[in-house]
Amino acid sequence: MPLRRIVIIGPESTGKSTLCEGLAAHFRTDWVPEYAREYLLQHGKQYEFPDLMTIARGQLELEEKHAAALAGRGSEVLFIDTDMYVMKVWGEFVFGRCDTWILDQIVARKYDGYLLCRTDLPWTPDELREYPTEGPRQTLFHMYRDCMVNQATPWAEIGGQQEERLRSAIAVVRQMLVQ
């Protein structure tokens, strides 16, 4: 069976990385961390529009590296913290535009499901997080939701506190894996 890929997206501080880690542990597989975090920690929090392309390419390279590592292990699923929809929303929200290469990648790459994290977890300060107030978090959530509504891959909203969120996500992923 080919490796199935499930992407976890949503605004910052909505538990995406924690959810990926929990899902990977439950399904005894691997997860792809968000490349932007590594990049910004190394290059600084101040970024320009061209940095988004570097981050987007780095994210895809990291995803392919993890997928290749799982290829011989018999894992059926890979969880991915962030994809090109995140790059699209980030570019549009921060810079008012998105590079066409990112849009082309959205069309070209195929995933088996998306989990959209709701903003019902409290915002947690972090050296890289930019939007602590509810207004931008809700705007970003709705931008992600619009992306999901306007594409054909199965998706679900995931909410609740940590354990409830993980239980809900496990149930949704199980359904996605049998489709």
Is the pTM for the entire model greater than 0.85? Answer: yes
**DSSP state letter for 87:** H
Backbone phi and psi for residue 45, each to the nearest 5 degrees, phi listed first: -70, -20
| Domain that residue 88 falls in | 4-178
pLDDT tens-digit map of 135-157 = 889 999 999 999 999 999 999 99
* pLDDT for position 120: 93
* pLDDT for position 162: 85
CATH of residue 87's domain is 3.40.50.300
* pLDDT for position 121: 87
Report how far residue 124's alpha carbon sits from residue 146's, in angstroms, rounded to the nearest whole number.
25
Q: How many domains does the chain have?
A: 1
Backbone phi and psi for residue 112, each to the nearest 5 degrees, phi listed first: -100, -10
pLDDT tens-digit map of 165-178 = 999 999 999 999 99
Provide the 3-class DSSP secondary structure of residue 166.
helix
* pLDDT for position 2: 86
Q: Which two tokens stand for residue 101?
A: 């290469």
The mean pLDDT value for 77-105 works out to 97
Task: Read off the pLDDT band of 129 (50, 70, 90).
Answer: low
* pLDDT for position 168: 97
